[in-house]
Amino acid sequence: MPTITGENLRLVLYDYNYESYDNRPLRSFHNGHTGDSQEHLFFVRNHNSSKWYTNIQLTPVVIGGYDDRGEFGTTGWGVKLMYGRRRPTEEEWDYVKTGSTIIIPDIGTCEAADTFTNHPIWARIYCPGGEAAQIRENMQIKIKYSVKEVGSCSRSIRNMLTANQATGSYEENYDGPYAVYGTSILGVTAGNTGYYYPLYITEASANLADNAADGEQSSHVHSFSQYEGVNFYMPDSDMNHYQSSNGGYPIYGTDLGSGYDSE
């Protein structure tokens, strides 16, 4: 336990020895008399050189276990997830709510696939005290993501960016797209620092960009601790959260925001 599942799973999942799970369950062993928690490290990796992945979400699920009466429901069993190479501290685990979805960085970009990086996920499984010997098979980690072809993402948005650069329209009229480097304070990305893109100052512009990228003319809001009181809007068809680079977009607050500083 837990089992790692996904619809049409294309990403490969590895254990801490870098061996593929290949439909094996992630097993944990607990002291049911006293109760305890166990931590496991596993990795997510792409092996398809023609694909890249965005909006990657992992959600722990205890079937029949979670309800609205406390963090661990009525059973006391639970699973928490965290992303990162360093083993989380007790204080960091305390900030994570059991059953919460985590979003990990994109794997690859529009320009190139990433078939080298092993993305580390920590899972902590909780067992309550007073449990009889048993094998539990009702705990799962579900993975959900969007798959895109390398070289085919949001050409219209990048064309729009190129047009703005050519006309020099940044200072007075530029509404986006931007990349924002900051720490999110809203939603499932809260607490994660990195580049977020593409972002727009108005919801209307983000919705238009989403529509231009064959989306449903929809977007979602982002807020950052570095820019209090400023809301940014990201098209739902092209979501890039806490990335290590700006994706080629002008950076809000440096390249833009107080005027475009060209060389």
pLDDT at 8: 40
Q: What would the two tokens of residue 222 be? A: 């982002």
pLDDT at 152: 64
Angle, CA 67 vertex, CA 136 and CA 8 arms, to 5°:
60
Q: Residue 124's beta-bridge partner residues?
A: 39, 80
pLDDT at 73: 67
pTM of the model: 0.59
pLDDT at 155: 46
Q: What would the two tokens of residue 78 be? A: 């639970």
Query: Consecutive 10-residue runs of the chain (263 residues): their mean pLDDT?
Result: 48 84 77 86 90 84 61 77 88 85 82 88 88 77 83 52 43 71 89 92 86 78 89 89 84 53 30
Residues 6+ apart with CB under 8 A from 52: 46, 106, 107, 108, 109, 110, 112, 113, 114, 147, 148, 149, 150, 153
Q: What would the two tokens of residue 154 be? A: 């949001």
Q: Phi/psi zone of residue 229: left (φ > 0), alpha (ψ -120 to 50 degrees), beta?
A: left
Q: What would the two tokens of residue 197 be? A: 């893109």
Residue ranges and CATH numbers for the domains of the chain are: 3-149 (2.60.40), 155-243 (no CATH)
Is the peptide bond between 235 and the residue preceding it cis, with omega within 30 degrees of 0? no
Mean pLDDT over all residues of the chain?
A: 77
pLDDT at 254: 64
pLDDT at 166: 43
Residues 6+ apart with CB under 8 A from 192: 103, 183, 184, 241, 242
Q: Phi/psi zone of residue 13: left (φ > 0), alpha (ψ -120 to 50 degrees), beta?
A: beta
pLDDT at 234: 92
pLDDT at 159: 47
Q: DSSP letters of 3-70?
A: EEEETT--SEEE-TTS-B-TT--------TTT-EEEEEEEEEE---TTEEEEEEEEEEEETTT--SSS
pLDDT at 67: 56
pLDDT at 257: 39
pLDDT at 156: 43
pLDDT in tens, 123-177: 998 888 888 887 777 777 888 888 888 876 554 444 444 444 444 444 445 677 8
How large a percentage of the chain has pLDDT more than 70? 78
